[in-house]
Structure formats: structure tokens, C-alpha cells
């Protein structure tokens, strides 16, 4: 696996003067994803969890739907050496051969506006309206519960994180990346490879704003509750409502806003 951080010299300019010191910087590198021998897409990411990233990305693209769609996920080998920037995905015979993307996907890119809310909602796993709720204390504690898994953020201050937390408050997985969408793909890809989809009775917590793309990825994975530290977008709220999801934003612990389906959070009138 490639390095996740690098050291660089920096000059820290402060009111009292300039200090020279070493700084740890988050790595951003390309990852090429190949499907059944053909190039599919290249995305910018922070190394680590590359197999989960590839699986989650292909799930959000509609290429694969479940663990059985994957035959293998591995790094490409060239002259006996593993190429850590190329992941080869082999799919089951029943999986339709995808058309590769023709452009580089940056670390902040999701669906890039290529699908409408109605199309995304049509592919979403419908959230059961069975009265199951997550306690408000679980929602309020998400940011603190994620912190032990945010090693890269602690070192560099530059990593986004996504976490899957069950309705009892147990943290199932935390992944970090320079791109917020990549972090989500990594946790969804982990769940897919574990055979845990759809993610019913699970909260997806992110350290970023609640964008349309993040809600989209959660909707495809059957996540009933999405919680973001920062603001939601109008399309994110519309998609969450259409897909029957609960969307929480500005989650700063004891204070948060619930934009859709508040009945799924215990204690919210």
C-alpha cells in the first residue's frame, strides 16, 4: 500500500514571527479501477482501503449490487510487482460489462450531475417504515464516536471521514480519505464485501457537508439515516425526502438539525 502521509518543511507565520518546522501532509494520488480487464475509471484518493473504495465506487455506479457480484479485487501486478495505484476487479459472469468513464474523477466528485433526483430515488433501496428508531443520544454522539478512527485527520487536519454506526451506537467501520465521497465509498464498499448490504438500522456519519452525492450513495446502500457535521444542499434534502431517508446536518453533538423524516430519531418531536 502506498504512503498515506508525507513530511514537508513549512514556514509557520505567526504574529510573533516565523517558525520553520516539519509538517505532515495527506497524500493524494490517482487510483485506476479496472473491471474485468478493461479500464473503467481513475479517481484521486488517499491510499488505504483501496479495495473497499473500488467496490463502493462500482456499487454507486450501478456496476455491482452485492458481494456475490465480486469474484476478486486485487492490485495489478507488473513484472511481479504490485502496482498500488491500479486495482483490478473481476465480476461474476452475470454482471453486465460496464462502459468506462471517459474522464478523471477528482477526490470531491460524485455523480457529477449525470443523474436526476428521480432516477437516483428509483435505484435507492427503500427504507422500511416500520417504526424502528435511533435514539437521539446516538445521533448526538456520532462525532465523538468516530474520532478513534480518524488517525489521518489527527496527523494532517486534511482528511474527511465516513462512519457506519448501528442504531445501538456501535461503530461498525470508519474510513478516511482526502475526498468526502471516497470516504463514503470506502465504508459502503467494506459493507458490500462483508455481505452487509442493505444497511438497514445504520447511520452514515460524515465529517463534511451533506451533498447530493453522499445522500445518493447512502440511498443505494439502503442507509436510513445520514448525519453530516456541516450544511445540507437543497438536492440532498430533496433526495432524502424522496427516498424515505432521515437527513441530519449541522450535527455538533447536542445540537443538530433534522431535515427529513424526524420520526426516525427518538426524542425528536
The answer to whether the CB of 167 falls within 8 A of the CB of 133 is yes
| The pLDDT value given to residue 10 | 94
How far is Cα of residue 198 from the mean position of the Cα atoms in its chain? 15
Q: What is the largest CA-CA distance in the chain?
A: 65
| The pLDDT value given to residue 126 | 66
| The pLDDT value given to residue 79 | 87
| The pLDDT value given to residue 112 | 44
22 phi-psi bin (left φ>0, alpha ψ -120 to 50, beta other): beta
Tell me: pLDDT of 63 over 50.
yes
Q: Does the annotation flag 126 for ligand binding?
A: no
Q: For the chain, which domains are there?
A: 134-266 (3.40.140.10)
Helix (H) or strand (E) holding 150: none
Return the closest-CA partner of residue 214 out of 180, 172, 241. Answer: 180
SS3 content of the chain, % helix, strand, coil (to 5): 30, 35, 35
| The pLDDT value given to residue 97 | 82
| The pLDDT value given to residue 110 | 47
Q: Does the annotation flag 220 for ligand binding?
A: no
Q: Does the annotation flag 252 for ligand binding?
A: yes
For the chain, the average pLDDT equals 91
Q: What is the pLDDT of residues 122-140, one digit of tens each?
A: 666 667 677 789 999 999 9
Q: Does the annotation flag 34 for ligand binding?
A: no
User: What pTM value is reported for the model?
Assistant: 0.91
Return the closest-CA partner of residue 85 out of 94, 75, 74, 95. Answer: 75
Q: What is the pLDDT of residues 240-263, one digit of tens each?
A: 999 999 999 999 988 999 999 999
| The pLDDT value given to residue 106 | 57
> 199-221 burial, b for 16+ CB within 10 Å, e for fewer?
bbbbbbbbbbbbbbbbbbbbbbb
Residues annotated as catalytic are 109
Q: d(Cα 128, Cα 200) in Å, to the nearest integer? A: 8
Q: Which residue has the higher pLDDT, 211 or 1?
A: 211
Amino acid at each position: 500500500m502506498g504512503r498515506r502521509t508525507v513530511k514537508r518543511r513549512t514556514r509557520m507565520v505567526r504574529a510573533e514571527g516565523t517558525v520553520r518546522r516539519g509538517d505532515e501532509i495527506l497524500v493524494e494520488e490517482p487510483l485506476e479501477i479496472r473491471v474485468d480487464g478493461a479500464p473503467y475509471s481513475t479517481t484521486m484518493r488517499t491510499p488505504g482501503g483501496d479495495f473497499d473504495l473500488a467496490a463502493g465506487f462500482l456499487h454507486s455506479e450501478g456496476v455491482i449490487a452485492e458481494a456475490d457480484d465480486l469474484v476478486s479485487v486485487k492490485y495489478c501486478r507488473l513484472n511481479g510487482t504490485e502496482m498500488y495505484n491500479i486495482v483490478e476487479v473481476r465480476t461474476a459472469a452475470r454482471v453486465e460489462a460496464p462502459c468506462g468513464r471517459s474522464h478523471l474523477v477528482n477526490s470531491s466528485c460524485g455523480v457529477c450531475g449525470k443523474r436526476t433526483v428521480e432516477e437516483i430515488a428509483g435505484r435507492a433501496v427503500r427504507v422500511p417504515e416500520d417504526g424502528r428508531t435511533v435514539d437521539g443520544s446516538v445521533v448526538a454522539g456520532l462525532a465523538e464516536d468516530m474520532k478513534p478512527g480518524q488517525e489521518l485527520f489527527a496527523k494532517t487536519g486534511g482528511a474527511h471521514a465516513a462512519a457506519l454506526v448501528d442504531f445501538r451506537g456501535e461503530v461498525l467501520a470508519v474510513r478516511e480519505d482526502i475526498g468526502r465521497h471516497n470516504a463514503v465509498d470506502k465504508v459502503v464498499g467494506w459493507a458490500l464485501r462483508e455481505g452487509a448490504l442493505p444497511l438497514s438500522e445504520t447511520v452514515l456519519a460524515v465529517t463534511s457537508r451533506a451533498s447530493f452525492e453522499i445522500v445518493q450513495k447512502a440511498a443505494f446502500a439502503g442507509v436510513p439515516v445520514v448525519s453530516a457535521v456541516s450544511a445540507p444542499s437543497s438536492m440532498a434534502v430533496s433526495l432524502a425526502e424522496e427516498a424515505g431517508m432521515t437527513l441530519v446536518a449541522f450535527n455538533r453533538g447536542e445540537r443538530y438539525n433534522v431535515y427529513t423524516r424526524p420520526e426516525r430519531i427518538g426524542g425528536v418531536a
